[in-house]
Amino acid sequence: MPLHLFIASIVSIPLTSRGFRRISLKMARDIDYQHPIKSIKSSGWLSCRNILWHLVFTGGIVNYMVKVCLNLAIVAMVIPRREKLNDLAECSNGPTPLNSTEYLHVSFNESSEMPHIEGKFNWSEHEQGLALGAFYWSYWTTQVPGGLLAQKYGTKLVFGGANFLGAAVGLLIPSAIKWNFNVFLFLRVLQGAILGVVTPSQNIMTAKWIPPDERSKFVSAYMGGSVGIAITYPLCAIIINKFNWEAAFYFVSGICILWYCFWVFLMFDSPQQHPRISKEELDYILSSTPASMAASTKRAIPWRSILTSRPMWVTIVAHWGATWGFYTLLAQSPTYFRFIHGWDLNSTGLIAGAPYILLMIFSYLLGWWCDWLQKSGKMTRTGVRKMAITMCTGVQAAFTVGLSLSGCQSGLAVFFMFMGRIVTGGIPAGTSANLVDLSPNFSSILLGICGLSANIVGAISPLIVGALTNDNQTIGQWRLVFLIAASNMMIGFIVFMVWGTADEQSWNFSPDEQQHEETVHLNEQDNQSIERIDEKGKMETRQLEC
């Protein structure tokens, strides 16, 4: 199957589910066809929720294209130093495209100095670590502000505007790299600060638009970044080989700016603001989402309750562990396969990117399964979240340990890397959805706090890798890198299994709403007690009759 048809089939998965088809058939009988432009079908291909899924999904794709382009481009930008060429391809037998002088287009001798090669740079592993980590130095600092901005100004402005500005900065990066290394680092830090607001801005939109029993499936759109990675690595490898590494930056930034044009026209912060939504879909959403969402933006944020909430901090620890593995291979897998296994740029790009397509499929299927388990009553919401978090922490840790022990067996290394990437698809239905469960009204703020702590990993991990592998690109050092990642995942797994919960927290409600919930809960308990008494009376009556 051609690649473009394969990707299209993946993107269309949410549109063809049985639930969407059933609702679309029902709505088709009720929609007023006299005004087809004024309203959008309540379900199916043209439902506003489905369009929103695709906007968020493609927004994640272009966001990660801008974010990770450097991870592959740096392999083509940097010149391996002469004294390390034998170490760089430790697992290769004989000359490879990496360790041969043909790759460098220059001849070396024992006394030669590092030559200047047009468009390439003599960066040490420490400098490469700075280049890869600079984005995350500021990325984590804007996580909480991102949630606050989305709470005040809406996801449309924050999510879309940040992607647009991040792409604009990306257009300047090639010139900055050639001009001055420090200016380049500054632009990456600036880009990280801008794009840091994107992820936490999503949850407030999800809480307003998506009914609770559809959220596990909808948040699979958050993993659009995984497809972005899968596309970016092999595509940038082709562009770099065809043109140069600068062209890769221009391409991904241009695609992101094009996406922004669709976002501005099609996205609205709430169902009530959408001018083309059908009455049926609007009524369905409003009847299914908590009534408190409509007034949540007017309420004071319960900071003390949020910051002292044990369920939130437990979720943060789990998210930290899951993202440590995610960020480690996201940034380092091209370098690992190039320098340890000696693969060429095209092979490195394909292998580093391919698992993220499977990750997206796994994420969607797991989200669908989690929704079904909840709706059918086969598993509690907390049980479903623990299952998903087990995938992205405990199972991912096991595969990462396998990767660390694979040595020079490239087949095993690829297998464990693939499987480790795929199971991180449990993050949306696990930690991300759990934050919405804990507090739909303040979910963007929770995700911002969670992202603030977890994305520190993105800044720390490249520095650790740079320190461990500086002038020492060996299997032993990379094994240590992977074991550090696995240990963080296991900590997150254990903490959430022991203390994790998906129960909605009392501070999510206003005082009046909280009193109402308590009254409803007491009434339910009274009804249950009455039912038990009635049942006991019936049993005694039957015994007397016997």
For residue range 150-182, list pLDDT tens digits in order.
Answer: 888 888 999 999 999 999 999 999 999 988 999
Of 249, 71, 122, nearest to 174 by C-alpha is: 249
Nearest to residue 332, comparing CAs of 454, 197, 467, 451? 467
What is the rounded average pLDDT for all residues in the chain? Answer: 76
Global confidence as pTM? 0.65
Lowest mean pLDDT among 330-339, 488-497, 500-509, 531-540: 531-540
Least confident span in 153-162, 397-406, 494-503, 507-516 = 507-516
The residue extents of the domains of the chain are 51-103+118-294+318-508, 516-546
Task: Please answer whether residues 391 and 346 qualify as being in contact, where contact means their C-beta atoms are separated by less than 8 angstroms.
Answer: no
Which pLDDT value is given to residue 252? 93
pLDDT value at residue 148: 84
Span 285-291, mean pLDDT?
A: 70
| 244 has a pLDDT exceeding 80 | yes
- Predicted confidence at residue 25, as pLDDT, reads 33
Per the model's pLDDT, the better-predicted residue between 209 and 416 turns out to be 416
Looking at per-residue confidence, does 108 or 521 come out higher?
A: 521
HEC secondary structure over 253-312 = HHHHHHHHHHHHHHCCCCHHHCCCECHHHHHHHHHHCCHHHHHHHHCCCCHHHHHCCHHH
Q: How far apart are CA 501 and CA 383, in angstroms?
A: 8
Supply the pLDDT for residue 63. Answer: 93
- Most confident among 264-268, 452-456, 512-516 (mean pLDDT): 264-268
User: What is the percent of the chain where pLDDT is above 90?
Assistant: 21
Q: Is the pLDDT of residue 124 over 80?
A: no
Rounded to whole angstroms, the Cα distance separating 351 from 358 reads 12
Which range, 51-60, 213-222, 282-291, is most confident? 51-60
In this prediction, residue 21 has a pLDDT band, given cuts at 50, 70 and 90, of very low
**Residue 18 confidence (pLDDT) above 90:** no
| Residue 225, number of CB atoms within 10 A of its CB | 26
Dihedral of CA 416/419/422/424: which sign? negative
Residue range 357-381: mean pLDDT, rounded: 85
Q: Where are the alpha helices (DSSP H) in 391-474?
A: 396-404, 410-422, 426-427, 433-438, 443-454, 456-469
pLDDT score for 19 = 38
Query: Hey, what are 226's tokens?
Result: 């995984």
The CA distance from 259 to 349, in Å, is 24
| pLDDT score of 453 | 76
pLDDT at res. 15: 35
Mean pLDDT of the region 345-367: 79
Q: Give pLDDT, residue 81.
A: 54
What would the DSSP string read from start to end of 467-530? HHHTT---HHHHHHHHHHHHHHHHHHHHHHHHH---PPPGGGS-HHHHHHHHHHHHHHHHHHHH
How much is the pLDDT for 512? Answer: 58
Rounded CA separation 196/159 (Å): 10
Q: What is the pLDDT of residue 184?
A: 92
H or E element that contains 63: helix 48-77
Q: Is 442 helix (H, G, I), strand (E, B) or coil?
A: coil
Average pLDDT over residues 2-9: 37
Write out pLDDT tens, residues 49-106.
888 888 999 999 999 999 988 888 888 887 765 444 444 456 654 444 444 333 333 3
Burial of 476 (0-12, 13-18, 19+ CB in 10 A): exposed
Long-range pairs for 270-277 at CB < 8 Å and ≥24 separation? 270/208, 270/209, 271/48, 271/208, 271/209, 274/40, 274/48, 275/38, 276/37, 276/38, 276/39, 276/40, 276/48, 277/39, 277/40, 277/42, 277/48
Give the separation between CA 107 and CA 125, rounded to whole angstroms. 23
CATH class of 51-103+118-294+318-508: mainly alpha
Per-residue confidence (pLDDT) for residue 361, from 0 to 100:
85
Structure tokens at 283: 């009524």
The per-residue pLDDT for 256 is: 95
Tokens of 421: 């990437």
For residue 530, name the pLDDT band (cuts at 50, 70, 90): low
3-state helix, strand, coil in the chain (%, to 5): 80, 0, 20
pLDDT digits (tens, 9 = 90+) for 374-408: 888 888 989 999 999 999 899 999 999 998 898 88
